[in-house]
Structure 1
Amino acid sequence: MTDHSATTSVEVTVDPATAFRVFTEEIDLWWVRGPINFMDSARLLELRIEPGVGGRFLEVYGTDDVLESGRITEWEPGTAFAYRNPAEDVETRVRFDPIDGGTRVTVVQALLKDGADTAFVWPNVLHWLPAWIARRDSAPRTPRELDRLAIALYYEDPAAAARWLHTVFGLDSWDKIPAEGQQPSWIELHVGSAAILLCKRTESAAPAADHAVWVYVDDLDAHFAQAQSNGAKILSEIQQYGYRSYDAEDLEGHRWTFLQARPTQQ
């Protein structure tokens, strides 16, 4: 079978038992609630790992409404746990190894069947864990939610722009600033709870489309119907990317993205 796996690790300044507990019990606190970080961001109430073999890795949408992304197959507190997603033929194992000054947390994701295909998520999210551990002693024990209004800025090189904005203007991110040579598909800076999305400029973009506005609304379908019936130029109808949204232009060609708000967004 072809070896298809991904390994990523971070170092945290707590002992393995604490790192294990924070990783599993506080995942809803350290996992960033951005629009593309869930299978169905618009309905999310909680991200949860149920303890013990047979427990589930869940996106919780309601009392009896959940999405299972894996079932726990190994559970050794302070040492390791693993879960399997049979729908995608992927097994994930998380290991907690003691090091000087703390713990190395390593996540290995592996395809179980030749010919299977998936997007490995952990290389893109594990770096959120040490950021949470560094501030958890003084941080509220509630998930951070984005504001209802965000802006998008378009650049020839969004990664270089993120580094410049971070260095020169001091803008930071709940995620991370891309290093030299990295070109992530999604860059999100934050000012308080407001997001600034950095996007790749396209040659076909209208002159007014050097920036865009993102607005989270309570009822996306009703909002779309109102915009359509009142003459907005619809650029893309409602689509599901993990978040639900549609795009439109205003009377002078500015681009607006409207998204379904999560129930937990104020």
Structure 2
Amino acid sequence: MTEPSATASVEVSVDPKTAFEVFTEEIDLWWVRGPINFWDSARLLELRIEPGVGGRFLEVYGTDPEDVRVSGRITDWRPGEQFSYRTPEGDVETSVSFAPIDGGTRVTVVQTLLTADANTAFVWPNVLHWLPAWIGRRDSAPRIPRELGRLSIALYYSDPAAAARWLHKVFGLTSWDRIPAVGAQPSWIELHVGSSAILLFERSEPASPAADHAAWVYVDDLDAHFAQAKGNGAKILQEIHQHGFRSYEAEDLEGHRWTFLQARPTMQ
């Protein structure tokens, strides 16, 4: 049974007026363009919030003004304070508030089911943390949407959050948004190598971890990476060797095999 509401909050280091503007005017810059983050990601050109009551929350698919998906209609618009929108069916309301706090703003999103037969997946608890990540880098980052690369892998763990922390500490993998804290259990976790994503999901049934994937990751300094992994307790299957390419192989905490290779200078 779907819960009647969901709430998510983040704190950002800008004032409420700026936070409101960034949230609404720059949503296409801070919302990560991953394959599962949109209704129709294969066709997406732009994510847009039209200002003012009556405005629309849109996925833009083409140059034709009608080639869009309307996620909601704005029902409340108070810059620097709050805005709300409802789905076209009128069954889900989403309210976003901006409250001043010491050093910035607390942004809170509340999604509420308005009808008993509403059927939706609450997205905001899984994506709102992208907002402070963008605000932290927006002064120096290019003003273009951040796109994931064409190569991603999915990994299945009994505890994806613990795996993410281990992969971050031992192999140095990072994330465009965050590494989950102890106790957090997000629906999915995205780690990144350049523009490529590694999606971590919970394993639904017992399986051989070694058969879950085959991952090759190019790094800038193979020797330093090897020292970090070995120093933090990774099981080394094959030390650095040369065979057409320079690489080493290691195993992670649940038996997945990883091959790390020295990147070419021309690799982006």
Q: What residue number does 1:36 align with?
A: 36
In structure 1, what is the equivalent of residue 27 of structure 2? Answer: 27
Q: 1:29 to 1:63 in 2, by over 3 A?
A: same
Give the deviation of 1:98 after TM superposition.
1.1
Going from structure 1 to structure 2, the CA distance change for 1:207 and 1:10 (only over 3 Å counts) comes to: closer
**Alignment partner, residue 105 of structure 2:** 103
Aligned to 2:252: none
1:1-266 matches, within 5 Å, as 4-64=4-64, 65-87=67-89, 89-201=91-203, 209-211=211-213
Q: CA deviation at 1:88?
A: 6.0
What is the one-letter code of the residue matched to 1:63? Answer: T
Q: Tell me, in whole angstroms, the C-alpha distance in 2 between the residues paired with 1:183 and 1:97.
A: 26
> How far does residue 172 in structure 1 lie from its aligned partner after superposition?
1.2
Q: Following TM superposition, by how much is the alpha carbon of 1:149 offset from its aligned partner in structure 2, in angstroms?
A: 1.5
Q: Which amino acid aligns with 2:51?
A: P
For 1:226, the equivalent position in structure 2 comes to none
8 Å contact from structure 2 (residues 126, 186) kept in 1: no
- 2-structure distance, mates of 1:127, 1:152: 21
Q: Give 3-state SS (helix, strand or coil) of 2:11's partner.
A: strand
- Structure 2 stretches of 5 or more lacking a match? 216-268
Distance 2:91 2:204 in 1: 36
Please provide the CA RMSD for this pair: 2.2
Report the TM-score when normalising by structure 1.
0.73
- Deviation of 1:167 (Å): 1.7
Per-residue CA deviations over 1:112-159 (Å, capped at 9, x if unaligned) read: 123423211111111111110010000000011111112333434322
Letter matched to residue 146 of structure 2: R
Shift of 1:171: 1.2
**TM-aligned CA deviation for residue 3 of structure 1:** 8.4
CA distance in 2, matches of 1:162, 1:192: 17
After superposing on structure 2, the runs of 4+ consecutive aligned residues of structure 1 that deviate more than 6 Å are none
- CA distance, structure 2, for counterparts of residue 109 and residue 153 of structure 1: 29
Q: Distance in 2 between matches of 1:48 and 1:22?
A: 12
- 3-state DSSP class of the match of 2:61? strand
Compute the displacement of 1:212 (Å): 5.3
Q: State the Cα distance separating 1:207 from its structure 2 match.
A: 7.9
Q: Quick one: distance in 2 between partners of 1:120 and 1:62?
A: 26
Partners in 1 of 2:3 and 2:160 — Cα distance?
33
Tell me the TM-score normalized by structure 2. Answer: 0.73
| Contact 2:126 2:187 (8 Å CA) reproduced | no
Offset of residue 25 of structure 1 = 0.2
- Inter-CA distance 212–47: structure 2 relative to 1 (3 Å threshold): farther
Query: Which moves more between the two structures, 186-195 or 40-49?
Result: 186-195
Deviations 1:79-129 (A, max 9, x none): 111111032600111111111111111111111123423211111111111
Distance 1:103 1:208, change over 3 A: closer
Residue segments in structure 1 that go unaligned for 5+ positions in a row: 214-266
Deviation at 1:21, TM superposition (A): 0.4
Cα deviation, 1:221-262, whole Å, max 9, x if unaligned, reads xxxxxxxxxxxxxxxxxxxxxxxxxxxxxxxxxxxxxxxxxx
Structure 1 pair 197/75, CA: closer, same or farther in 2 (3 Å)?
Answer: same
**CA drift at 1:169:** 2.2
Identity %: 80
- Which residue type is aligned with residue 132 of structure 1? W
1: CA distance between counterparts of 2:201 and 2:123? Answer: 20
- Offset at residue 27 of structure 1 (A): 0.1
Q: CA deviation at 1:195?
A: 1.3
Q: 2:85 & 2:204 partners in 1: Cα distance?
A: 40
